[in-house]
Structure 1
């Protein structure tokens, strides 16, 4: 018989996509830090060209920024992360279009799990319309893609950012 045990908290991860950074940055960062603590990882802008899925809504060219935050959270708070980012997207609509796309998730030693409102075969329903997407696993010293991993998360550049965030997370847990 297994004995239930509460896992260690996870590290908040956020990917932001936009073609209109000048309209909301750095004000959005201040809002995020008020909610989740100081950003402890902040990438430069990264060109986003793996898909044209967001072009019509966000405009072009789209750039991504990857962030993590100092506060660690219980893993069961993934739903509240997504609800908060959905609210921010709605509050910042222009002409009924998002000016940014926020993809929150949680990084642990073992994985990156993103939150989504879209169902798919590999996604696990959590509650209130939010699903968990196991996007990458960390094993044998590196990130491993899965058959459904988004192409942009399969890139070496993205995985390097994730490794940097995972290293900050490891240090945080060691210092507890």
Structure 2
């Protein structure tokens, strides 16, 4: 029988995209910080429209995105609640039902990058609150590996490079967390 272990915390990452990316990011940044804590990494603008025109009717043309990393680590079970919150933020700024931006939350673990979605598909796992988790990339043998079903933008090296930057930040935070956990256990044993 396998031993149940403490689930490692993960790094919250939100991919925000819009045809007016910098404007909307500046508008909602305080709200993102209020709900999810300090931001510790913002990627360069990433072309999103080259992968799909699906959002153009709703948001307009010239859609770019940014990967945003948050300083505080989260428990992976929080992803569904975070997705519900980001959906609420999107709707609050919508005009006539059209979103001005999209917020796609996910998390970084040292072995994987996972996104949240409201849409069921055979490879997605239900995680509560009407939300599914999609394993998007795995980190193996020193590089990101995509799946057949990975969104096209996340198959591109420019996205993987930005995720590698976030992964490096996460590894340092993870190391600190595990060291603190170990010290805490030793302290309890002494008491």
TM-score range, shorter chain: over 0.9
Structure having the higher helix fraction is 2
Moved over 6 A (4+): none
Distance 2:23 2:141 in 1: 41
* Residue correspondences, number: 176
**CA offset at residue 127 of structure 1?**
1.3
Distance 2:142 2:38 in 1: 28
> Residue 46 of structure 2 corresponds to which residue in structure 1?
46
1:97-136 equivalent positions in 2, closer than 5 A = 97-136=98-137
**Larger Rg computed on CA atoms:** 2
SS at match of 1:157: helix
1:160-175 equivalent positions in 2, closer than 5 A = 160-175=161-176
**CA offset at residue 22 of structure 1?**
5.5
Q: Does 1:77 align with 2:53?
A: no
> Residue 90 of structure 2 corresponds to which residue in structure 1?
89
Distance 2:36 2:22 in 1: 22
> Residue 17 of structure 2 corresponds to which residue in structure 1?
17
TM-score by structure 1 length?
A: 0.96
**CA offset at residue 43 of structure 1?**
1.4
**CA offset at residue 126 of structure 1?**
1.3
TM-score by structure 2 length?
A: 0.89
**CA offset at residue 24 of structure 1?**
2.5
> Residue 36 of structure 1 corresponds to which residue in structure 2?
36
Moved more, 87-96 or 39-48: 39-48
> Residue 180 of structure 2 corresponds to which residue in structure 1?
none
How big is the alpha-carbon RMSD for the aligned residues of Structure 1 and Structure 2? 1.1
Distance 2:68 2:143 in 1: 20
